[in-house]
A and B are shown apart, each in its own frame.
Chain A
Amino acid sequence: MRYTAEVVVSLKAVVNDPQGLTVRAGLRQLGFAEVSEVRVGKHISLEVDGESEQSVRQRVAEMCEKLLRNPVIEDYRIELRASHPA
């Protein structure tokens, strides 16, 4: 089975995010006064082969722990779905 894993890596809430602050300032300048907070993160999309959703999720979590995120400053979440060949 092939799965698409969407990994979102974001700065932990306690880490100051100057990019987010700059984007928020830009949005406010454009009149979007309702925006209270902006955080900028990374989106990593992976095509992964595996036996089951559970095993693929576990492997992708290992990838996050080893390489895709820095545990000191970043959190991550994984969204998984069966991949449909184009």
Chain B
Amino acid sequence: MPDPRVTGSIRYAQDVELDGMLHARILRSPYPHARVQRLDASAVPDGVVVLTPDAVRDLHRYGCQIQDQTVLAADEVRFAGDPVAAVAAPTKREAEEALNFIAVEYEELPAVFDPVEAVAQEAPLVHAHHYISENDAAYFGMRPVDGTNICHRFCIRHGNVADGFGQADVVVEETYHVAGAQHAPMEPHAALARWSGDGRLEVWTGTQTPFNLRMDLAGIFGLPEDRVRIICPPMGGSFGAKTFVRLEAIVACLARKAGRPVKAVLERNEEWLTLNRHPATVRVALGARKDGTMVAKRVECWVDTGAYADCGPGVAQKMGFASPGPYRIPHVWVDSHCVYTNLPPNGAFRGYGAMQSIWASERTMDLLAKRLGMDPLELRLRNLLHDGDLYCTGEMMHDVHFEECLRAAADAIGWSENRQGKGLCVLLKGMQTPSRASIVVEAENDDTYTIRCATAEMGQGAHRSIRLLAAELLKVDPERVSFPDPDTDLVPYDTRTTSSRSTYMMGRALVSAVRDLEIDGKRGCGEVVDQGGLDPDTGQGIASSHWHQGAAGAEVDVDEETGKINVRRVHASIYAGRVVNRPGAELQNEGSMIMSLGTALFEGIVFENGQTTNANLSDYNIPASDDMPVLTHELLEREGAAIHGLGETALPPIPAAIGNALYSQGIHVTDLPMTPEVVLDAIDRSSDQSSAVSSQLSGASSNEPDRMRNVARREPDTQGEKS
């Protein structure tokens, strides 16, 4: 049988249909922050089902980490694109036309569009109160600061950073910015909801988080969780976009009102209004002795989560604990703030915050190398973590392969021959911890087996990997193992399909399930629980039960007239431990690297007064086949090693490797993406002054924007007091 992907017969959520279903469209706020004064839907033609804020006022608030969302924005809209009403009609066109008959009057309110400005005392508040979610996606202590736009603050306090900087011979400091990005899965978000006769809610939707979604939907409608069923067809890409509640609550409300199934498929521009990657500002100060031994590091992150928190607190936390990097540093101080603004919400995106802080931290490593007159590779090797070292979270590092990855990447780009135009980056990235995975294997009468598992398939190949692992354990041909689409009525609980955790977690749960099946004969269940987590106030604990590790090298030319970067080659060396599904693993590396080229060179959402100005695939470019440089990679394996997740490890190191390759040519870029304009600015700056790097901890570096200096002045006590 040919693969359904080459015949086109695969059915995504976008293709699911039910008899009598209606099509939904959403009316969105044109203003980034406004009070809804009046909403009149009385002119909507007969036969069209309308959902207004009044109809959903009695429903509960939701949000996977902070309960800050309602099904429709009731009295206040918080970003340009916030849903204020929805309609359902027999055709999409009728639904679209019906939107024109809803009259809304707004009173504009002051808005804020930058995460650093949003923490200022005079900034308008996006939410008056912060309600912590009871969803199990709120897996760590939330630290919202009431009366501010900060919905979470994660800190690491390790050693005494003031003493540490006192011991430093050299201190470098710099501030970096990373633009927002759009996941742009080729299949847009799509969801279909139906209420059965006995009042159960059934939803077909492309989602990476079926159980978190079930929990939030049950909460919204005040139902026991088993009265909600989530069925997950394969996704046409997701990259973090199809997580938690997106369209599902709106279509469920419409379906309940209509008494018929209702489906929604987003228009492409609406993807930019639904979920994006967090823009971030990251400030790094790094101190070392003359011999290159790192002694202290201070990192501050301002993570722009947009108008609703979504999993922004988790992203800020991961950005925070990835920021020290894979190094032994005796004194570390990290503050990572998740901040509301009046921009569209930001959430999970392949790399999950790690990319933003790795960009900042690994660029800073090369600044330090230059100040010390050291080879950037030597500087890294001198400080890398090894087995048995303590990370700044207090956890002992195990199964550590940073040095192998870094040396392999350096070798691949010929580092020892010539370093001009070349750059390196090494990274550590955590996996969702704590984490729970369960799986059932059923033996059928015809000597075939069925996997019951919540792991969602979005193209990453997890179903194939799990089938291959099951076939190996069951000693049968993989063709005899089937893996139906996840359905919360039929599969056991799983944390979610995120964080490159599925093959690692489910692979281990499978071992117990198959053992259990051998005893039972008919059905085997297996579960794996990885304990851990961090104290959000000190950053101490277990950040990750297993670490994603890798390194990258890049070689670039720059046209100094136009600022255009020509990436000659990129290479990634990623620790795999054991490869289960080789083509799948290669595709994950290649896909991560290609996606990261967009992040590095041209992808950035442009906002003007809170309006998204490039919400289409013409103004917002994603990498095409002719954007590919020479692209190579390797999967490092070790005999008898544990499986390591691979879904995103090769993404975060590429931008910094490219940035460092530019720096080797004297061009110091702090902002992503490195568009020709950004590169030209950097060239101008480097000709204006010999160094972009300050030598004193207390002084902001010369190219820092004014608003950063303001923040530095506002918070000196905080920095001193807790260090």
A and B: partners? no
Enumerate chain A interface residues (CB-CB to B < 8 A): none
Using CB atoms and an 8 Å cutoff, list the residues of chain B in contact with chain A: none
